[in-house]
């Protein structure tokens, strides 16, 4: 670390002041003493545990990497991703489709062509090829916005999906505020269509949780799930059970984030009953690209246990996930993202070796999931600070500039 950069304690102090909190207020929200906060800010007490850094970041409403500073310098790939995020930010900043005249609107791409491009973007997301996704999303957003302004409701679903993908990748990359904006735009486009609103509520819940706002996330996902529940539909078949189950899973994770263990368990159980009816939803029967099914529900149980701090339970449940027949058939993004949760669970259970193995497995499954996500860098930083790590973990840390 260079002498020009303030130590981590001073960064905590700056962020605390920026949030207009006293040391006592910060201590109360962390469940610590004022003396503990004072020692951290003065550098007398070291911050070398992932869970502590994560808790501090949540209270200060920043990504953990903001506390780590140069300890988590971005790699070349991460810098390229940051440029891609800038491109998405610029695309979200544009309002020209709402302001252009009829002549410009006539040039909108055909809806069929856009449908194929949106489908390809979803597949790119599932393969965790985030650099490629960041390259194509700005133009896709512009074209789907243009088509929606020309064709109206006929292109609404495509625009909602484009916003959903945009929000999801932005949340992955640690840009929760921009992810929230994209999800909010999706909700606005979907207004009046319960199924589209429900689909848009999925990334909205994820973005709110990323911003450490679990209670609003719980409220929006529960409301959307109830609105499309089978008993709320008047008649006819119900092909959207996977979307309903996904919303319940998101609500469960939000409940866990709010510390509501009982509520999280009840919601996951509800999702499990739906998963028993649907089975594993393949691409052909998953029109909302949810990836919902029994395996996804088991993964959610692990993620909820991690969120609640129950590392031992998370590790116990983890074995059921990776032992499932469908595990290897899940998209690479889904598996790698889950392995980050499993790594955190192992850390909470006091097993850094298993945590390191999960991170390495995640990197082999989908490198971008580890090398571009701030949460993975924070986990790896914690592992390397604990002492000597296995060779494969050390190589991964070096590749990310953490060695």
Q: What is the pLDDT of residues 224-263, one digit of tens each?
A: 999 998 765 554 446 688 999 999 999 999 999 999 999 9
**Angle formed at CA 257 by CA 49 and CA 316, multiple of 5 degrees:** 70
The answer to whether the beta carbons of residues 307 and 256 sit under 8 Å apart is yes
DSSP codes of every residue in 204-227: HHHHHHHTT-HHHHHHHHHHHHHH
- Report which listed range, 66-70, 118-122, 210-214, is most confident: 118-122
* pLDDT at 9 (0 to 100): 85
More confident call, 62 vs 239 = 62
* pLDDT at 4 (0 to 100): 47
Task: Fill in the DSSP letter of residue 49.
Answer: -
Domains and CATH numbers, the chain: 8-67 (1.10.260.40)
* pLDDT at 100 (0 to 100): 61
Residue in 366, 392, 41 with CA at minimum distance from that of residue 384:
392
Confidence class for position 76, pLDDT limits 50, 70, 90: low
Tell me: the pLDDT tens digits for 175-215? 999 999 999 999 999 998 999 999 999 999 999 999 989 99
Q: Is the pLDDT of residue 101 over 80?
A: no
Least confident of 297-301, 329-333, 376-380: 376-380
- How far apart CA 343 and CA 370 sit, in angstroms, is 11
pTM (two decimals): 0.82
* pLDDT at 63 (0 to 100): 72
* pLDDT at 253 (0 to 100): 97
Confidence class for position 94, pLDDT limits 50, 70, 90: confident
Q: Is the pLDDT of residue 346 over 70?
A: yes
**pLDDT > 90 fraction of the chain, expressed in percent and rounded:** 60
Query: In the predicted model, what is the mean pLDDT of residues 152-160?
Result: 90
* pLDDT at 399 (0 to 100): 84
Least confident of 92-96, 120-124, 308-312: 92-96
Query: In the predicted model, what is the mean pLDDT of residues 99-119?
Result: 76
Query: What per-residue string of b and e applies to 221-237 under the rule 16 or more CB within 10 Å gives b?
Result: bbebbebbbeeeeeeee
Radius of gyration, alpha carbons of the chain: 21
- How far apart CA 198 and CA 6 sit, in angstroms, is 44
Query: In the predicted model, what is the mean pLDDT of residues 284-297?
Result: 85
* pLDDT at 382 (0 to 100): 86
In sign, the C-alpha dihedral spanning 168, 170, 171, 173 is: positive
Query: In the predicted model, what is the mean pLDDT of residues 342-359?
Result: 94
* pLDDT at 153 (0 to 100): 80
Task: Tell me what the pLDDT averaged over the chain comes to.
Answer: 87
Q: Is the pLDDT of residue 96 over 80?
A: no
């Amino acid at each position: 670390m260079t002498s020009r950069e303030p130590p981590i304690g001073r960064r905590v102090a700056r962020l605390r002041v920026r949030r207009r909190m006293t040391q006592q207020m910060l201590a109360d929200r962390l469940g610590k003493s004022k003396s503990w906060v004072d020692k951290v800010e003065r550098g007398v007490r070291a911050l070398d545990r992932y869970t502590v850094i994560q808790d501090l970041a949540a209270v200060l409403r920043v990504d953990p990497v903001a506390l780590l500073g140069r300890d988590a310098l971005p790699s070349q790939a991460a810098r390229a991703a940051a440029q891609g995020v800038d491109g998405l930010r610029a695309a979200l900043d544009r309002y020209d489709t709402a302001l252009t005249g009829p002549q410009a609107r006539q040039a909108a791409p055909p809806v069929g062509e856009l449908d194929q491009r949106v489908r390809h973007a979803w597949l790119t997301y599932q393969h965790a090829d985030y650099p490629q996704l960041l390259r194509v999303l700005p133009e896709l957003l512009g074209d789907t916005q243009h088509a929606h302004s020309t064709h109206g409701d006929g292109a609404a679903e495509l625009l909602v999906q484009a916003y959903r993908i945009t929000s999801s990748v932005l949340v992955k990359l640690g840009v929760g505020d921009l992810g929230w904006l994209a999800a909010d735009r999706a909700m606005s486009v979907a207004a009046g269509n319960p199924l589209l609103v429900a689909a848009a509520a999925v990334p909205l819940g994820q973005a709110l949780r990323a911003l450490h706002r679990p209670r609003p996330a719980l409220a929006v996902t529960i409301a959307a799930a109830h609105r499309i529940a089978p008993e709320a539909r008047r008649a006819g078949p119900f092909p959207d059970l996977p979307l309903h189950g996904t919303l319940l899973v998101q609500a469960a994770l939000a409940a866990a984030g709010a510390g509501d263990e009982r509520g999280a368990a009840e919601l996951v159980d509800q999702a499990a009953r739906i998963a028993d009816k649907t089975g594993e939803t393949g691409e052909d029967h998953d029109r909302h690209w949810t990836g919902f099914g029994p395996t996804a529900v088991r993964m959610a149980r692990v993620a909820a246990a991690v969120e609640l701090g129950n590392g031992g339970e998370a590790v116990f449940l983890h074995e059921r996930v990776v032992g499932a027949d469908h595990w290897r058939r899940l998209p690479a993004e889904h598996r790698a993202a889950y392995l980050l949760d499993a790594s955190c669970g192992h850390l909470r259970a006091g097993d850094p070796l298993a945590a390191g193995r999960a991170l390495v497995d995640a990197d082999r499954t989908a490198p971008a999931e580890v090398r571009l996500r701030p949460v993975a860098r924070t986990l790896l930083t914690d592992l390397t600070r604990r002492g000597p790590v296995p060779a494969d973990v050390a190589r991964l840390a070096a590749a990310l500039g953490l060695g």
